[in-house]
Amino acid sequence: MSLIGISIFGAYTHTLATSLCVYYFLISESSFFTLLPFFFSFALLTGVLTGCIANTLTRQMQDISFNFEKLH
């Protein structure tokens, strides 16, 4: 699985766990679940953004490591 897929999965899992905790401990109104599509849409966007940043940083770290090994 790619870093983007892992990031999206993590964002969805975090959103679901947080939503369930808020429902069971704070709100307990079924109307709260009407907000889930908005929350999951935002989780998708942030998951993709986090995955793209992770891919970029991973490539840069590999380049730095490769260049460091060439020096020694």
Q: In the predicted model, is pLDDT for residue 63 greater than 90?
A: no
Q: pLDDT band at residue 44, thresholds of 50, 70 and 90?
A: very high
Within the chain, how many helices (H) and strands (E) appear? 2, 0
The position carrying tokens 């380049």 is 63
> 30 with 19: CB under 8 angstroms?
no
Q: In the predicted model, is pLDDT for residue 21 greater than 90?
A: yes
Number of CB atoms found within 10 A of residue 65's CB? 10
pLDDT tens for each residue of 51-62: 999 999 999 988
Output the pLDDT for position 61.
87
pTM of the model: 0.81
